[in-house]
Amino acid sequence: MKKKILIFGGTGTLGSNFIINSQEKYNLVCNFHKTKIFFDKVKYIKILDKKFDLLKIENKIKSINPNIIINFAALTDIDYCEKYPTVSKNINLIIPKILSKICKKLKIKFIHTSTDQFYKIDKKFKNEKDKTSNLNIYAKHKLAAEKIILKNSKENVVIRTNFFGHSLYKNKSINKLIEKIKFREKLYLFDDYYFTPIYSFELVEIIKKIIEKKICGLFNVVGNDRISKYEFTKKIANLYNISNPNFEVSNLKEGKLFAKRNKDLSLSNEKIKKLLKIKIPSIDEQLKKFTEYDTYVKTKKLSQIPYGKHTINHQDINFVKKILKSKNLTQGDFIKETEIKIANYVGSKYAVAVSSATAGLHLSYMALGISERKRVVTSPITFLSTSNAALYCGSMPLFSDIEKENLNLSTEKLEDLIKKNKDISCITPVHFAGLSKNMREINYLKKKYKLKIVEDAAHALGAKYECGSMVGSCKYSDLCVFSFHPVKIIAGGEGGVITTNSDLLYKKLTSLRTHGVIQDSTKFKNKAIAFTNNQINNWYYEMNDLGYHYRQTDIHSALIYSQMNRINYFLNRRKKIADYYDDYFKNIKYLDLYQKGFREFSSNHLYIINMKFNRKLSRNYLMNELNKRNIFTQVHYIPLPLQWYYKKLGYKMKGLENSFEYYKNCLSLPIYTDLSINKQNYIIDCLEEIITN
């Protein structure tokens, strides 16, 4: 079984480098600390808070039950520690003290990283037995921590080191130094300040050996080469081929640093080398490795967590490859196959593949004859496409308010509006976030007022009406439009499909998506050039209407076909993720949920929380803080009448109070097939941490 290791300081250079090179080998849990760095395989749990409540920390550690705790956390800016001793004490002494005390009680091995800053003596390559002293505040706290840790258990390990490594932050440690050298920033470098640096990955390998060989005690784990800070920086400039760096040689005395320092920090690594029977590469070899690993490290960092994302597998790739190798990239056989697959899935007579849902909405309105005097009514809480498609037809869309809980059109308000506007000829309900509500009632209005219905089901492939029929079966509508944009339920790159049970609409749609060209030769009007001796001319095609080029390519279609094979899996995953959030959020006071009782009907395209934002906690602040932690949320949507273009057309939010209230408080959290439970816990933890602090 993998060893379980609990890490503190997992976001710093050494901690994150340890994670990068051991996340496969060990079962890693990391104390959650506000930061951007996050690894997919690590479980993040908030263990420490500002109060250092011993019992709470102990209970959390107990529940994690690690074999080993490693503390990489340290405040290493020596001058800062000198100026702010309390901060230094908390991080460099109190935290390791508490952790090692708990480790002692719970019989957990404790590994702690320390420093080379302890010496007054003028000796090169100091060993573990050489006399130490409290040269400065930093040294004082680190030394006190070492003593406690080593006293608490013979099993414990203290590692004195001085390392260089890749920081996952651009502006930290050596990354910052490299930037400065590259930009020829003036650097004052001491040629009388010596150390024995080790490359962090080398150090990580040694720590792993220390763990495997179960050794314990105090060790210097440093490089072989004693080198001045000036020489070291010069080597880095050479490695990156930076000519004429702006260096000025200086010395410690001239540096006038705030905290006292010993000129020679060099340590001897003989003890650890002998014990582990290892060789440590020279500084040049280590620096070479460092540059080689530069990109490798970046790829190991957490991928960002977007609010929505596609999932592609080998089958998808093979389907697309097949098309790429075939004779037709577009207008081949695949379109038909995908249309049949979708029609069968939703239970409609026809499906018409188009280049996007926006195109699908436009064609639907065209097929229904929407025009200046035939208006569409829809929800203001939707993407631009729903109403823009009406504008394309020269029709000014109308907006009707939503219901507070389920965020779909309110039928009462809809009927009021229909009564007042005799030119309404089409209702476009938006199955918002994947939920379709009130379709039976809307269908009742359709019949009562002799209207048409186009469902905007861009979010809702796989969703069900309340009666249990599939959205897309057109049980209550004339036409239904889905989107295959990558954040949607299935990804086609771009793409959309219109479903219908009407023969007439089907024919119109297939013609309109290809410039208004018709296929049926019995309908050709321009007989003079269509036929020769009653035979159709080979080259002939006829445009009967002004249509558009809204076809789907076979490449997109193949991807959609392949993704359709896994739609049930996608839907199950989304439902699980929504349920998990629901379960966690149900007892949280500061946060309300929408559409909560309807997850089983929904495709769960979006997961939206109601935050009741205010001045103290604004949406911008929350989104920014989440962004910093690599979590990307979104607002779905800005009500359409508030869009500048619509404002200019004279639209207002009057009568749309529920929509406005919703807009002020909503935030969409990440939800997509591959969102792991680890990431979901991380999102929840981050949200809680930001909101409660």
Ligand X SMILES: Cc1ncc(COP(=O)(O)O)c(C=O)c1O
Residues that bind ligand X (CB under 6 A): 356-358, 382-383, 385-386, 430, 456, 458-459, 483, 485, 496
Q: How far apart are CA 400 and CA 416, in angstroms?
A: 9
CB of 489 to ligand X, least distance (A): 12
Q: How many CB atoms lie within 10 A of CB 82?
A: 16
Q: Assess contact for 426 and 414: CB atoms under 8 A.
A: no
Q: How far apart are CA 353 and CA 498, in angstroms?
A: 7
User: Of the candidates 647, 631, 634, 648, which has an alpha carbon nearest to the alpha carbon of residue 684?
Assistant: 631
CB closer to ligand X out of 152 and 356: 356
CB closer to ligand X out of 70 and 354: 354
User: Of the candidates 28, 49, 158, 34, which has an alpha carbon nearest to the alpha carbon of residue 100?
Assistant: 158
CB of 95 to ligand X, least distance (A): 47
CB of 458 to ligand X, least distance (A): 3
CB of 316 to ligand X, least distance (A): 18
CB closer to ligand X out of 96 and 380: 380
CB closer to ligand X out of 456 and 625: 456
Cβ neighbourhood burial of 624 (10 Å; 0-12, 13-18, 19+)? exposed
Q: How far apart are CA 495 and CA 457, in angstroms?
A: 13
Between the alpha carbon of residue 631 and those of residues 8, 355, 617, 634, 670, the distances in Å are: 22, 30, 17, 10, 8
Please tell me whether the peptide bond between 392 and the residue prior to it is cis, using omega within 30 degrees of 0: no
CB closer to ligand X out of 19 and 342: 342
CB closer to ligand X out of 487 and 517: 487
CB of 550 to ligand X, least distance (A): 10
CB closer to ligand X out of 21 and 410: 410
**Orientation angle between helical segments 567-585 and 554-564, nearest 10 degrees:** 60
Torsion on CA atoms 290, 294, 299, 301, rounded to nearest 10: 70
User: Of the candidates 43, 20, 31, 133, which has an alpha carbon nearest to the alpha carbon of residue 72?
Assistant: 31
Cβ neighbours of residue 367 closer than 8 Å, sequence gap 6 or more: 479, 505, 508, 509, 512
User: Of the candidates 497, 403, 3, 379, which has an alpha carbon nearest to the alpha carbon of residue 208?
Assistant: 3
CB of 360 to ligand X, least distance (A): 7
Q: How far apart are CA 201 and CA 17, in angstroms?
A: 7
Single-letter amino acid, residue 493: G
Q: How far apart are CA 354 and CA 385, in angstroms?
A: 14
In terms of DSSP H, where are the helices of 240-382? 252-255, 270-276, 283-292, 294-300, 314-325, 334-346, 357-367
Residue 656 CA from chain centroid, whole number: 32
CB closer to ligand X out of 382 and 511: 382
CB closer to ligand X out of 286 and 378: 378
CB of 429 to ligand X, least distance (A): 10
CB closer to ligand X out of 91 and 458: 458
CB closer to ligand X out of 242 and 567: 567
CB of 463 to ligand X, least distance (A): 13
CB closer to ligand X out of 190 and 646: 646
CB closer to ligand X out of 166 and 605: 605
CB closer to ligand X out of 266 and 356: 356
Q: How far apart are CA 41 and CA 38, in angstroms?
A: 9
CB of 381 to ligand X, least distance (A): 9
CB of 454 to ligand X, least distance (A): 11
Q: How far apart are CA 672 and CA 679, in angstroms?
A: 11
CB of 670 to ligand X, least distance (A): 16
Helix H or strand E segment including 112: strand 109-114
CB closer to ligand X out of 345 and 383: 383
Cβ neighbours of residue 247 closer than 8 Å, sequence gap 6 or more: 187, 189, 230, 233, 234, 237
Collapsing DSSP states into helix, strand and coil, what is residue 455? strand
Reading the block at residue 563, the tokens are 């993704």
Q: Assess contact for 263 and 2: CB atoms under 8 A.
A: no
CB of 456 to ligand X, least distance (A): 5
Helix H or strand E segment including 573: helix 567-585
CB of 318 to ligand X, least distance (A): 24
Q: Assess contact for 346 and 472: CB atoms under 8 A.
A: yes
User: Of the candidates 621, 618, 592, which has an alpha carbon nearest to the alpha carbon of residue 607?
Assistant: 592
CB of 341 to ligand X, least distance (A): 18
Name the DSSP class of 598: G
CB of 143 to ligand X, least distance (A): 59
Q: How far apart are CA 110 and CA 95, in angstroms?
A: 12
CB of 385 to ligand X, least distance (A): 4
CB of 358 to ligand X, least distance (A): 3
CB closer to ligand X out of 430 and 683: 430
Count, residues in the chain = 693
Task: Give a three-class secondary structure readout of 142-167.
Answer: HHHHHHHHHHHCCCCEEEECCEECCC
Between the alpha carbon of residue 597 and those of residues 372, 579, 582, 666, the distances in Å are: 39, 10, 10, 18
CB closer to ligand X out of 382 and 438: 382
